[in-house]
Structure 1
């Protein structure tokens, strides 16, 4: 049993060039655990708040006060604690900040510290982080199925298209490495198609192609073309996943697709997305309605929940209480797990357990502002949650997480990969209304 000697924070920089918080947890035996706080661009209103200094310097995004909070009250609360007691450490942090959104300490301060405690505990136990997560929480580890962005949109690409993420999943692959091979082919095929049509503007926040499409459906058609150009049959081994991030373009109950100069109410939005589900091999859809549109989210789940994974991100913000309520309401059938959305590891695992107990899917996810930190690769594996969303297939802050999964595969073996079978609640392996085998 080892105890925490000190907690030290420093300012580092994320993938968008903004300041963020890195924390070292130092044990009495000299072992060190280190983690970095990510930052989101598309944020739910009920998620933990990053504490920024404001003012003119560094676009108001400096983190001096967040660092002081770690080096001061948080460090004082953790010194002398058993590093293996993650719940106790997180509870000590939470006791310092009574606000549910971590307004006093800053979610960036709390999440970096909480993850650093987890890293220190694993190092102290002499095991990999994924193994520590599994053993301490009673989970069976498995290599997750990646959800990988091909086109960025919404807040990740200057809102050049309304939909935030156009992604693929490869549930038909037999190993994590095979997913990477297939994704490589699809990603660069998409780039070639866009380049040839003059639709390519560069690379978006999370590494996906920055598109110049004339409609949101053009993105779907191009993605189908890229899958085919890569030598795959859409809906066979490769399926589509969407992050609608509908809260980003919903105002006063109206959904505004600026790219198409189109304004819809909740019912029309549901019908439009339902048409996409009929026309394309979409296996997963995230935040199809706004976080404030409970009635619409429930109706979408009622109509399509038996055929597609419906993920709550802004709607659930990695909050066990909200997951529990959504289950009672009949809203969603899966939850996105973002540790910085909750603010601590323990709260995130609580939300995961709540989803697991209901038979829901759970997808561990990165943020648009990322770093070289690989914590989520280990969390997704150790929780045995089955899915991991990191971003795209380029940019080192993304690839470092995919590559870490490949290293874990060397230990666990390719057989630990969850692919090779249909995802729950999807139409993969069924026939759509057009009679196309998917």
Structure 2
């Protein structure tokens, strides 16, 4: 029987979780199979990541995507017609070559990632396989340890705190389902703590509580209080993960903390963060220094990397070459993997595999501007990434992804292997 080929590629404008335009691509194969890919969008972005193509002007605040849709219609679709949908690497290489820029700026990273994901979905559907199994082949897979936002800050919450994400991890959980149970209790307790203090002001972009703290440390104290109110011991059943997103307020080795009205140099920032590591049950810190501060990252990782995961996001931008260089230099010990940050599925997978070869923690991540697409849940499982970061324990674009992993774990039954703490680069057991 003749293998199916790509028959057509179509794009449409849809709307993300912030009510902003984004791109959905639809790939139809010669056997009638259809696959869809949806492009998310970030608010906190690394300077070297793939660039969305936006129209500018006044319509929708300049964020419309008609140019990106035209890229799919006029260039990408004709270039992919007749190609093998099971050759994901070849498809993605064609997209990279067609764009011709290092950041997908000509066609638009939102166009390339939507098409890349759509081809992947179509190939899996044509074979009658769930996406995670199509990705893994015959290999065993690992169910990821979740990192889940409780309080949102930074660019995701009107900069109510300088720190972007205050999250929890469940280090003692024996399954993904149990990790979500722990999180549900902490999330609910955090809302009650905030309401009791008169600090509750809705939810942030990723669904975390949006409180009115007077200092960054107050948020940490409130998170510890929420863990205790939920009936857990901080650092045991529930531990803390932070996304500092330092590139948002740091440059040239200087860090300006707007909430606290002060500026720190590199050494002061290190002292500030290491003080937190000594006083709070922190297991993971993302982007503790700005993307231009490799020296700060290296010093910090040398100081805490034997017991804390130090993640590169803006610093690594889901780039395999940057991951390999970071491993050699010792700047971080984990990589965040965002498919739209790279611009294609294959580039994101290469970054994940580079991290695994280096002994890094590997975390598949959503973006602050998300859609109902659950593909990243399948990527995290199919690539056995070990960790998954989706946002909070609220809002359907987040819960759809958590719930999808629950379904995969249930489908695997006795074969399900939950990563737990083995997903962290220091492999600490309890």
The bucket for the TM-score relative to the shorter chain is: over 0.9
Structure 1 runs (4+) deviating above 4 angstroms are 419-423, 425-430
Q: Contact conserved, 1:236 with 1:428, CA < 8 A, in 2? A: no
Residue-by-residue CA offset, 1:130-149 (whole Å, 9 max, x unaligned)? 000111xx753121111000
Alpha carbons of 1:53 and 1:414: their partners in 2 closer, same or farther (altered >3 Å)?
farther
Q: Contact conserved, 1:171 with 1:423, CA < 8 A, in 2? A: no
Alignment of 1:276-315 (within 5 A): 276-315=276-315
Counterpart of 2:114 (choices 112, 122, 134) is 112
Q: Contact conserved, 1:227 with 1:234, CA < 8 A, in 2? A: yes
Q: Within 2, Cα distance between the matches of 1:349 and 1:429? A: 27
Residue-by-residue CA offset, 1:68-124 (whole Å, 9 max, x unaligned)? 101111011111011100011111111111110001000000000000000001001
Shift of 1:187: 0.3
Q: What SS does the corresponding residue of 1:22 show, helix, strand or coil?
A: strand
RMSD: 1.3
Q: Within 2, Cα distance between the matches of 1:5 and 1:422? A: 43
Corresponding position: 1:387 with 2:387: yes
Residue-by-residue CA offset, 1:345-370 (whole Å, 9 max, x unaligned)? 00011111111111111000000000
Q: Within 2, Cα distance between the matches of 1:366 and 1:98? A: 26
Residue-by-residue CA offset, 1:29-70 (whole Å, 9 max, x unaligned)? 000010100000000000000000000011000000100101
Q: Contact conserved, 1:176 with 1:414, CA < 8 A, in 2? A: no
Alignment of 1:150-189 (within 5 A): 150-189=150-189
Q: Contact conserved, 2:252 with 2:292, CA < 8 A, in 1? A: no
Alpha carbons of 1:428 and 1:262: their partners in 2 closer, same or farther (altered >3 Å)?
farther
Aligned residue for 2:55?
A: 53
Alignment of 1:174-323 (within 5 A): 174-323=174-323
Alpha carbons of 1:423 and 1:364: their partners in 2 closer, same or farther (altered >3 Å)?
closer
Q: Within 2, Cα distance between the matches of 1:427 and 1:30? A: 46
Shift of 1:329: 1.3
Q: What SS does the corresponding residue of 1:88 show, helix, strand or coil?
A: helix
Alpha carbons of 1:170 and 1:318: their partners in 2 closer, same or farther (altered >3 Å)?
same
Corresponding position: 1:122 with 2:130: no
Corresponding position: 1:133 with 2:135: yes
Alpha carbons of 1:360 and 1:420: their partners in 2 closer, same or farther (altered >3 Å)?
closer
Residue-by-residue CA offset, 1:283-304 (whole Å, 9 max, x unaligned)? 0100000000011111111111
Q: Contact conserved, 2:141 with 2:417, CA < 8 A, in 1? A: no
Aligned residue for 1:435?
A: none
Aligned residue for 1:15?
A: 17
Residue-by-residue CA offset, 1:372-411 (whole Å, 9 max, x unaligned)? 0001000000001110000000000000000111111121
Shift of 1:416: 2.0
Alpha carbons of 1:388 and 1:261: their partners in 2 closer, same or farther (altered >3 Å)?
same
Q: Within 2, Cα distance between the matches of 1:356 and 1:10? A: 36
Q: Contact conserved, 1:145 with 1:417, CA < 8 A, in 2? A: no
Shift of 1:427: 9.1
Residue-by-residue CA offset, 1:219-240 (whole Å, 9 max, x unaligned)? 1111011001111101112111
Q: Within 2, Cα distance between the matches of 1:45 and 1:172? A: 36
Number of paired residues? 428
Alignment of 1:91-110 (within 5 A): 91-110=93-112
Aligned residue for 1:26?
A: 28
Q: Within 2, Cα distance between the matches of 1:266 and 1:20? A: 37
Unaligned runs of 5+ in 2: none
Aligned residue for 1:433?
A: none
Q: What SS does the corresponding residue of 1:191 show, helix, strand or coil?
A: helix
Alpha carbons of 1:83 and 1:100: their partners in 2 closer, same or farther (altered >3 Å)?
same
Q: What SS does the corresponding residue of 2:259 show, helix, strand or coil?
A: helix
Aligned residue for 1:436?
A: none
Q: Within 1, Cα distance between the matches of 2:261 and 2:175? A: 42
Q: Within 2, Cα distance between the matches of 1:263 and 1:184? A: 36
Q: Contact conserved, 2:320 with 2:352, CA < 8 A, in 1? A: yes
Q: Within 1, Cα distance between the matches of 2:251 and 2:35? A: 43
Alpha carbons of 1:43 and 1:427: their partners in 2 closer, same or farther (altered >3 Å)?
same
Q: Within 1, Cα distance between the matches of 2:250 and 2:93? A: 36
Alpha carbons of 1:297 and 1:421: their partners in 2 closer, same or farther (altered >3 Å)?
closer
Q: What SS does the corresponding residue of 1:202 show, helix, strand or coil?
A: strand
Q: Within 2, Cα distance between the matches of 1:85 and 1:283? A: 38
* TM-score scaled by length of structure 2: 0.97
